Structure 1
């Protein structure tokens, strides 16, 4: 296979002209672009259908969005929605903290989005006021423990949804999301998830080639997400239990779901996607805590997923300062490997293909990679305006369940099967969220594998 630097490689413009674009997605004809597959391979690996990525959403009726959860990610999502096309704005905001809502309003105003006082709501039930308004789309960006109830209410009220990852922190929440997603499908509502790699052009083109046999049959994967310590908030004397919990939410499993669901979900989802969204048969996991100073979560995990054909994949993540960092998703096949982002390798490690990303000064920007945080909103708005409903909640839920599965295995020190996972009645979210003391006190006990305290926090 020729690399992108080969003289015989098609130009980006020729590549685009030779593409067969369907109404529901874009499929690049493998006969026109060499991927290293023989005619027998083409019979074994059917053409992959991948989403068509537009530079912006088509014009159409104006759409108003309501933002629920005004933290950094929520504020960013509001701007991303506005930037997805013309006639898009954010008119409603909800949060539980006045300072968070005020900071969001200030940032949005600086971006040309002004939300009036009467359209700003506070409290644990503020999401209902936003959803009950005249918005067309709701952006669900609160901590993930609240996602299932918010999604259910949004679907009940007939709203299109941006569903930030992760969509749940336990099996009960995941099943609720699936139920709501089915209702959304029946109602013709569009739902797009915050699993951004599936809306990222270079990742999509790499996936297409792998799905069409560029690395042969997939045999294993190695996933790493190592970074610095996550932020935490020191408890202030004036904070009650609930305020401390919510201001420090990433460090508590009952709100964040711990590292595998809250952040490692991106890489787990990417791996699952390249493996064809195949469900693992079981998982074993390890983890612990070395340097976190608050909450009850771990700061490192190692999870192995075992599939029914005997394939094993290894996923490791760490959040500790002063260590080497790495983010990689390597998938290995019988004929090569890929980094899943932009490169396919031969068995000897040499580059077989690399995504032709243009330099900023290149006049041909056909293959430029648009910010996937904006691209996912372009896909959502396009689906709404073209009346072609899009709903990716099911794959989102599967990846979240894989993350939960790994966390359960690490916390308990026991193998967890997929069947056990989907039948589990585990619910780690609190029964009630309101400011004040938490019944039984705030749990900051770190799980210990192999003991009673290692059991998932029910």
Structure 2
């Protein structure tokens, strides 16, 4: 569902309400006049999501031009450029000079240097370093979720997000439900007291799983893991982070807080081969908040099982179900039903980003993006260890699984044993 919707390139710009942080008059950064200033765009990470985000950015503003691209692999970059060009089919000129097509693990710097706005869509392990470089060099940023795979990376992103706000730079994070009208209207009802105080909830990302890219002859271990990045924590962070963060983030957003602790269980039942790296195929976590609310979080990648991706929250006066967009009373009567057009939120987040840049407004999604990332990491720590993990432990743990710098000569942080199997986290044994 995630991949299909994100790669469904939308040509029509959509309008919806979004969360803007409007700074006081006189504190804005440079304002780009519409129709008079070209906004230069760089794409870092040329997979399906990066390609889709680039199309949406180019759709959001008539005076945006793609000037640079970077990816670890040349075939991914060339495929992305072809897909973007084919999408517009002459309606918009796409001309990225060959000298601005950067291949390799350090090409992000050169691409970012060419631009006013950057899209960061590599595997999430790279996000903290790329974001840090973009903000240090005064770029507006759209970055995909999650924004890190370890606590060290989260702390790094929080630091860069603070600097971005001080510099009045726009930062949009691809937790697109924040830009979806259905969610915004439901949240408005909740804030008005429609369900009372939230006491509990259930959030889901249950599906059959994602792609597997088998090892190719002649690949180094680093290239294999990079190509098959979803199955390695230093790159992906496990599916509780890479996908289920959406649902966990909604719970945080509607409650208006972050959990104080997490405990749970998980493991590998059907995803247990050499080509499944080191991640689990199911997680179940209880997140407890300071108010006493408990959110039951479940995600599963097991073919042939029930699929469900949504959020349900219960309060003292009723409940909200985000799937159908309904609010019900304690007696089960529907008190509110969303019936709007619900424009494509993947497009809306780019519409809002470029409108803010043009108008001198500031969107600051970096902090909540980092904190929802940490929430999912805390859940992973709980399922991997079998222990109760507190927010402070998760934030301050001495855990860095993603190297600051990486070259093609390096081995990845996780290596297989003599039988080609990777070390698997074990509850009761794995510690933090």
Normalised to the residue count of structure 1, the TM-score between the two structures is 0.82
Partner of 1:44: none
Equivalent-residue separation in structure 2 for 1:308 and 1:184 (angstroms):
29
Equivalent-residue separation in structure 1 for 2:146 and 2:20 (angstroms):
29
1:355 aligns with 2:338: yes
**1:188-212 residue CA offsets vs partner (Å, 9 max, x unmatched):** 1110110000001111011111111
1:314 aligns with 2:262: no
Rg (Cα) greater in structure? 1
Equivalent-residue separation in structure 1 for 2:20 and 2:413 (angstroms):
55
Equivalent residues of 1:193, 1:396 under 8 A apart: yes
Equivalent-residue separation in structure 2 for 1:311 and 1:263 (angstroms):
23
Q: Secondary structure at the match of 2:118?
A: strand
Equivalent-residue separation in structure 2 for 1:325 and 1:208 (angstroms):
28
Choose the corresponding residue for 1:150, options 115, 130, 135: 130
Equivalent residues of 1:241, 1:437 under 8 A apart: no
Residue 322 (structure 1) shift: 0.9
Equivalent-residue separation in structure 1 for 2:138 and 2:286 (angstroms):
39
Partner of 2:110: 129
Q: Secondary structure at the match of 1:158?
A: coil
Equivalent-residue separation in structure 1 for 2:425 and 2:61 (angstroms):
46
Equivalent residues of 2:129, 2:404 under 8 A apart: no
Cα gap change, 1:153 to 1:398, in 2 (>3 Å): same
1:448 aligns with 2:417: no
Partner of 2:100: 119
Partner of 2:171: 191
Give every structure 1 segment of 4 or more consecutive aligned residues whose post-TM-superposition deviation is greater than 6 Å: 20-25
Q: Secondary structure at the match of 1:324?
A: coil
Q: Secondary structure at the match of 1:322?
A: coil
Q: Secondary structure at the match of 1:253?
A: coil
Equivalent-residue separation in structure 2 for 1:136 and 1:249 (angstroms):
29
Matches within 5 A, 1:247-262: 247-262=227-242
Matches within 5 A, 1:406-421: 406-421=379-394
Equivalent residues of 2:199, 2:292 under 8 A apart: no
Residue 163 (structure 1) shift: 1.5
Equivalent-residue separation in structure 2 for 1:370 and 1:348 (angstroms):
32
Equivalent residues of 2:259, 2:391 under 8 A apart: yes
Equivalent-residue separation in structure 1 for 2:283 and 2:20 (angstroms):
42
Choose the corresponding residue for 1:284, options 258, 263, 273: 263
Q: Secondary structure at the match of 2:304?
A: coil
Partner of 1:170: 150
Cα gap change, 1:314 to 1:350, in 2 (>3 Å): same
Matches within 5 A, 1:30-429: 61-112=37-88, 113-133=94-114, 135-276=115-256, 278-292=257-271, 293=273, 294-341=276-323, 342-357=325-340, 368-429=341-402
**1:386-416 residue CA offsets vs partner (Å, 9 max, x unmatched):** 1111111111111111000000010011100
Cα gap change, 1:221 to 1:387, in 2 (>3 Å): same
Residue 427 (structure 1) shift: 0.7
Equivalent-residue separation in structure 2 for 1:216 and 1:273 (angstroms):
15
Equivalent residues of 1:200, 1:372 under 8 A apart: yes
Equivalent residues of 2:264, 2:286 under 8 A apart: yes
Q: Which runs of 5+ in 2 are unaligned?
A: 1-16, 23-32, 89-93, 417-421
Residue 369 (structure 1) shift: 1.7
Residue 237 (structure 1) shift: 2.0
Normalised to the residue count of structure 2, the TM-score between the two structures is 0.87
Equivalent-residue separation in structure 1 for 2:87 and 2:411 (angstroms):
38
Equivalent-residue separation in structure 1 for 2:82 and 2:361 (angstroms):
35
Equivalent-residue separation in structure 2 for 1:213 and 1:226 (angstroms):
30
Equivalent residues of 1:207, 1:340 under 8 A apart: no
Equivalent-residue separation in structure 1 for 2:313 and 2:387 (angstroms):
26
Matched residue pairs, number?
392
Cα gap change, 1:260 to 1:217, in 2 (>3 Å): same
Equivalent-residue separation in structure 1 for 2:60 and 2:104 (angstroms):
29
Cα gap change, 1:337 to 1:374, in 2 (>3 Å): same
Q: Secondary structure at the match of 1:66?
A: strand
Equivalent-residue separation in structure 1 for 2:217 and 2:287 (angstroms):
43
Equivalent residues of 2:20, 2:363 under 8 A apart: no
Equivalent-residue separation in structure 1 for 2:66 and 2:78 (angstroms):
15
Equivalent-residue separation in structure 2 for 1:24 and 1:187 (angstroms):
13
**1:257-311 residue CA offsets vs partner (Å, 9 max, x unmatched):** 11111110111111111111x1211100211011223200001000101122322
Q: Which runs of 5+ in 1 are unaligned?
A: 1-19, 26-56, 358-367
Equivalent residues of 2:197, 2:315 under 8 A apart: yes
Cα gap change, 1:84 to 1:233, in 2 (>3 Å): same
